[in-house]
Structure 1
Amino acid sequence: MKRVFTGLSALLLTVFLASCATSSGSESAPPTTSTLATDAYHIGVDDIVQVSVWRNPELGITVPVRPDGMISVPLVGDVAAGGRTPAEVSKDIQERLATYVRDPQVAVILTDLRSHEYLSRVRVTGAVRQPVSLPFRPGMTVLDAVLAAGGVTEFAAADRSDLHRKTPEETRTYAVRLDRILNRGDLSTNYTVSPGDVITVPERTF
């Protein structure tokens, strides 16, 4: 059961991605959802944290991190969250809950990244009707972001669009067939975006 919860937590935790060098060329597809550098994100003040305890829903909470970096958890009391990763906070709560609950299984999920809002935004630039900088939301896709930008212009070379993603090692670029997504319903490149992603839509060359 612990493995199930750990895997679920890793899939749902939103992450903050750091930057480094730039890779050459486009790659076929990014990793699924936001599993890159799951342990790298350090919780900040005002981030919204959801704590879930398997088979003990009454112990679950969804709260912002206080200015002192703490959150209050039923039975446990104050737990340090600021400056720590979700996995570290989960382990701390789990160990302290063991005094009251038999074999507790704890998941800590970030539902809103407020402390790093601008660094975690998703941006859409180029031949779109309204270039935008969007707050990241779990489950957001390329199509969601492009529609929020008003769609593409008549000058767009939509099938030459790219998604740029920073990792701790480099910046990776993934080809997005946006025309196929918008006009053919081909969702094979409608990738789930991650915090900090940039989607670029080039103009046609005449």
Structure 2
Amino acid sequence: MDQFMRFTVLAMLLMLAACAGRVSLGPPEPEPPQSDYQIGAGDIVNINVWRNPEVSLSVPVRPDGKITTPLVEDLQAAGKTSTQLARDIEKALEKYIQQPMVTVIVTSFVGPYSQQIRVIGEAARPQALAYRQGMSVMDVMIAVGGITDFASGNKATIIRTVNGQRQTLPLRLQDLLRKGDISANVTVLPGDVLVIPEGWF
């Protein structure tokens, strides 16, 4: 009988745990994409060619997405990872250097447009920001200095494109920034556009 009671209690606990696993507290937050950083126009890349300091340097990625270094002209950098760019530079340098070993380190981040968060309207400093893993609306607001006195923060929206479909998601920036309502803090995704309209007084 004692074993039967233990078995019954164990079975009930397992059933409760299974039920608890199905409890939904609302729609899940979208998972930020797990991918390597892609270089974008405006980034600065540090190119190190082992044992060849004369061709090792830091260069900006031009608006056309290309870089120029000693011995290598007009090499596409935007849209590539640092590893991909390093292999491309090695191939280009093989004509001049025997078995070149190249390391590329991105030292200033902007990222491609598809990976940026753009903030327009009544932000203190409207701008495009490089997306970072796990970024939220609060992180974006800190980066742009918050909203102006003329902003209608609770009428702000995120414009997001998912599978080619454009979505408009409401934001409560006034509640988040002025009242400290953390429930108004939501995750942002690469390519999001935050629109902060002006309030009418």
Normalised to the residue count of structure 2, the TM-score between the two structures is 0.50
Rg (Cα) greater in structure: 2
Q: Which has the higher contact order (CA 8 A, sep 6+)?
A: 1
**TM-score w.r.t. length of structure 1:** 0.49
